[in-house]
Structure 1
């Protein structure tokens, strides 16, 4: 059947086109999500069939009504049909419209929906849960709606309960609504459904089994296990779906903030996660982190229901209150504009690095044959964490000195699954792309790093010096010397590393920096936070404790080694 015969197909396509072409006001992340949608439609790995999406949309609009609220002109909405907005239909089309080529296996297994308060997310997610329960009834559909507090989960569950009563179908379902349980179960000729509201308490939820999990307001989750316990309950299903839906919070160390950073990297293509759907609406920040929070354009970018459930005049009133009363500003930014107010800001603009990197396309084999003098650096982990090494050189093209960084990383396989999940690090994607090796030992074996330098040398790379702080793994220092490398003791003082940091920054801005399109390198660059010191010095660290910057750190080491070696040569030449 032609896609154009589906009732909502043209509306969804038009919505996405209007976002991409900027006919509709939208934030950068929403534009990226719509571009991803169009790319997926052309992707030969997937089949797109709107049939299930149409089922979900029409089930919602034909069976659900509003239980409360008013329209913008003040008319009561209770009892009126619950009609979905184009952005909600867009989400449903993505979640259940894509299949792995030639199969009935859905492409998306997980979703992150990030929108401000009062955009109807609680009622939308309840209606979506109801439609998914009916769609997958033949598989014995089982859906859990969770949140940090049971009261939040019950808002969605009670909306479903209310609509079952409005349909006069209460007798067709077994409904438990007491202090012990809040659940809805029903049997059909061709299947069954079960919907239950829970508080996200992992200590009491070890025997769960579901095919759809909905985690509401995950900014309030204290730890990843509250989310993962529901995600793990779906392992028995192929067409499973875990949905996290939330507004911004104010805790930069939270599980939700880490999840947001991971999802932003998916949208920006820093990392690849084909099974993860991401929908983010938020105001846009300047490079210094500021937001024009009195600008109605930013209000509309952040709120997909702007002018529908979000009254523009009310939003402007709140913005002016936030302007005049700083105590109100933090909540306004977090809850109305979806900005994490306490998040440390990354130092680099990753788009500058990408723009520089895409100017060049040498392969490792081609670089090995070029007349380049290379300098090495390594950042070794203390025990069982990410370890990185890099070589750094310069090649002149058309009068421009292009700095080139080739990097590699290692991680113990025994810890990889745990850290990839807990800290949202795409270790296995890096491994597949050739940027990382998994060590078979419980800790990183320093000999693996030495062997990498030996391998690079055998390929033809002329490595003149390698910098390393001998306080960190003296055995590596000794073995490198034994294997014939000119390894220089290079202490990790911030005033020494500042020169390399600034040099890489300048080269990226001038589009004279190439890192072989490494997503692992981009990931680490995005995680760098820095503090300006006196005399233009800079001290840097990772933005979040659970993030990694080791590969970037190794490149700084190698760059410093190159710059100091050139200084030494200049001094010698001047003396003679």
Structure 2
């Protein structure tokens, strides 16, 4: 059996594959022995046979230059592996399939679009007795139309076009027909949630997930399947350059499934990408990584072209991000983003102190707050340093605040995972139209009560005199700290250097990571730096609060050193 050979060779390291593909294959082999499931090959074999006997290529060339147009569409082992997984597992003793949702993550030029098209056709025929309805949804209609046109082309090649009702105009792009013992309906759509509340389907294919602006574009299709038991939602995509997106968060979730840090038995995951080291770096000129990332390496991916593109990426930094994202399927930060978030994550994951443990440590804490927009995201921070195993570790504790009346709108409009942060305990929803300054004061009071020794808090009083005065009344030593870029530069550089040296800990706070990824910085003279948001809809408030707190700590330490020097002079 080709699929068994594929899975076993990947797990045995006889076939080059990345970490996540190995995990996926191991999951498949383990599940074959899982008593909770029956494994039946009938449906998978039906879909594969339909694809390989009815579909042909509409364009392309083999590696030797011979044309592929009109040649049978023969599936590769990794494609059959995906089909056997999503259609083969059933709940024990039932006709209910295990997998309801699928995530396929592939680099470009691995035959993704045509595979999706062929799979759509095969699934539509498989589920015809249920009156199968398949939606192929792209972030833009043009993306979905590529799959639609491939199906339409093959219907014409089969001589079956006249037996189906084909609508292909400005209003609708669909194929429908009766099949004797059932029917099918396939439609190409743009991901427009405002126009899709009445959708009803049993199979949804969300193409190019990285281009989806918000989760609702995906969820509206998923919600359209509630009337079906054996529904199937397939998300398929390539990496992008924006880590603050639904797609990137979905990728991280799926990696957790494969790592077994979360359990989701209804979600099938296939991730093909280059492997990264502990710092998030990729050996992108290495042909081994090229093959790991591309399951169609040597089929539709020409090794010599990959190597040439890799050398261009090495010699031209402007090409590097595109090569990493499109050819090796590595998510990169936005072009204007200043930080490499992997450096922060690498540093942070070395430590695992809890809030309760930190409160008991002998650390002097310095605070900062960013209250510039009280109707929007607001942040507070504590910053301290701790000697650990011969190193001085900087620790930044950040907390976000947001008005609950605006939360749903802003979460969707600006794609901010506010409710996820709330579930993580790093965001407080204010029960007022704006974030009230007392919420932030109460956070500092709470931190003091549980044991944090807060020496000083830095804040620019012109951005909130009520907060400034309220902190004084709460018996905090609060220092007026104007937001001059030359002052903030010192705190910025401190955080940057500590992250690069593996000496920064931020308690795995994803809201802080989100802010870090949205920082755009401009180098000034004398190593100064001026920073801002990457774009209007992004937020950097938690990072900003951390910078304020860092500056406060540095200025306090400088003052202490000056006093010590004066006392110890001859």
TM band (smaller chain)? 0.7 to 0.9
Contact 2:57 2:72 in 1 (8 A): no
Between stretches 96-105 and 434-443, larger displacement belongs to 96-105
Contact 2:40 2:89 in 1 (8 A): no
Q: Determine helix, strand or coil for the equivalent of 1:8.
A: helix
CA, structure 1 residues 209+381, in 2 after alignment: closer, same or farther (shift >3 Å)? farther
Taking the TM superposition and a 5 Å limit, the aligned residue runs for 1:2-401 are 8-12=3-7, 14-15=9-10, 17=11, 24=16, 31-32=19-20, 34-35=22-23, 38=26, 51=40, 54=44, 58-68=48-58, 69-74=60-65, 77=68, 80-92=71-83, 109=101, 111=103, 113-117=105-109, 119-137=110-128, 139-147=130-138, 153-164=144-155, 174-179=164-169, 181-187=172-178, 192-198=183-189, 207-216=198-207, 224=213, 228=216, 231-238=219-226, 242-243=233-234, 245=236, 258-259=245-246, 261-263=248-250, 265-266=252-253, 279=271, 281=273, 300=291, 303-313=294-304, 343-344=334-335, 346-401=337-392
User: Hey, what does 2:515 align to over in structure 1?
Assistant: 524
User: Hey, what does 2:506 align to over in structure 1?
Assistant: 515
Alpha-carbon displacement from aligned partner over 1:319-376 (angstroms, at most 9, x marks no partner): 8999999999999888667789994154444444334333333322222222222111
Q: Determine helix, strand or coil for the equivalent of 2:538.
A: coil
CA, structure 1 residues 342+514, in 2 after alignment: closer, same or farther (shift >3 Å)? closer
Alpha-carbon displacement from aligned partner over 1:379-427 (angstroms, at most 9, x marks no partner): 2251433222121222334443333222222223333333334444333
Q: Determine helix, strand or coil for the equivalent of 1:360.
A: coil
CA, structure 1 residues 146+211, in 2 after alignment: closer, same or farther (shift >3 Å)? same
CA, structure 1 residues 339+257, in 2 after alignment: closer, same or farther (shift >3 Å)? farther
Task: Return the offset for 1:7.
Answer: 6.1
| CA–CA distance in structure 1, aligned partners of residues 490 and 263 of structure 2 | 35
Q: Determine helix, strand or coil for the equivalent of 1:471.
A: helix
| CA–CA distance in structure 2, aligned partners of residues 473 and 56 of structure 1 | 67
1:496 aligns with 2:487: yes
Task: Return the offset for 1:194.
Answer: 1.3
Task: Return the offset for 1:549.
Answer: 2.8
Of 442, 454, 458, which residue of structure 1 is paired with 2:449? 458
| CA–CA distance in structure 1, aligned partners of residues 191 and 508 of structure 2 | 40
Task: Return the offset for 1:524.
Answer: 3.0
Task: Return the offset for 1:455.
Answer: 1.0
Contact 2:273 2:330 in 1 (8 A): no
User: Hey, what does 1:547 align to over in structure 2?
Assistant: 538
Contact 1:108 1:277 in 2 (8 A): no
CA, structure 1 residues 417+523, in 2 after alignment: closer, same or farther (shift >3 Å)? same
CA, structure 1 residues 237+297, in 2 after alignment: closer, same or farther (shift >3 Å)? same
Between stretches 265-274 and 518-527, larger displacement belongs to 265-274
Task: Return the offset for 1:459.
Answer: 0.9
> TM-score scaled by structure 2?
0.78
Of 426, 429, 442, which residue of structure 2 is paired with 1:435? 426
Between stretches 533-542 and 336-345, larger displacement belongs to 336-345
CA, structure 1 residues 310+358, in 2 after alignment: closer, same or farther (shift >3 Å)? closer
| CA–CA distance in structure 2, aligned partners of residues 489 and 39 of structure 1 | 56
User: Across the two proteins, how many residue pairs are aligned to each other?
Assistant: 552
Alpha-carbon displacement from aligned partner over 1:226-285 (angstroms, at most 9, x marks no partner): x95574144242465554545678xx78xx994554455546769989669574547999
1:407 aligns with 2:398: yes
| CA–CA distance in structure 2, aligned partners of residues 451 and 488 of structure 1 | 18
Task: Return the offset for 1:14.
Answer: 3.4
| CA–CA distance in structure 2, aligned partners of residues 350 and 277 of structure 1 | 24
| CA–CA distance in structure 1, aligned partners of residues 290 and 378 of structure 2 | 43
| CA–CA distance in structure 1, aligned partners of residues 314 and 505 of structure 2 | 43
CA, structure 1 residues 573+154, in 2 after alignment: closer, same or farther (shift >3 Å)? closer
CA, structure 1 residues 8+73, in 2 after alignment: closer, same or farther (shift >3 Å)? same
Contact 1:40 1:46 in 2 (8 A): no
| CA–CA distance in structure 2, aligned partners of residues 424 and 94 of structure 1 | 32
* Structure 2 gaps, min length 5: none
Task: Return the offset for 1:497.
Answer: 1.9
| CA–CA distance in structure 2, aligned partners of residues 344 and 273 of structure 1 | 34
Alpha-carbon displacement from aligned partner over 1:2-49 (angstroms, at most 9, x marks no partner): xxxx8624423534x37xx5952x6xxx53465477579889x99776
| CA–CA distance in structure 2, aligned partners of residues 273 and 419 of structure 1 | 29
| CA–CA distance in structure 1, aligned partners of residues 93 and 383 of structure 2 | 45
Q: Determine helix, strand or coil for the equivalent of 2:461.
A: coil
CA, structure 1 residues 234+512, in 2 after alignment: closer, same or farther (shift >3 Å)? closer
User: Hey, what does 2:466 align to over in structure 1?
Assistant: 475
1:418 aligns with 2:409: yes
CA, structure 1 residues 92+246, in 2 after alignment: closer, same or farther (shift >3 Å)? same
Q: Determine helix, strand or coil for the equivalent of 2:352.
A: coil
| CA–CA distance in structure 2, aligned partners of residues 87 and 468 of structure 1 | 56
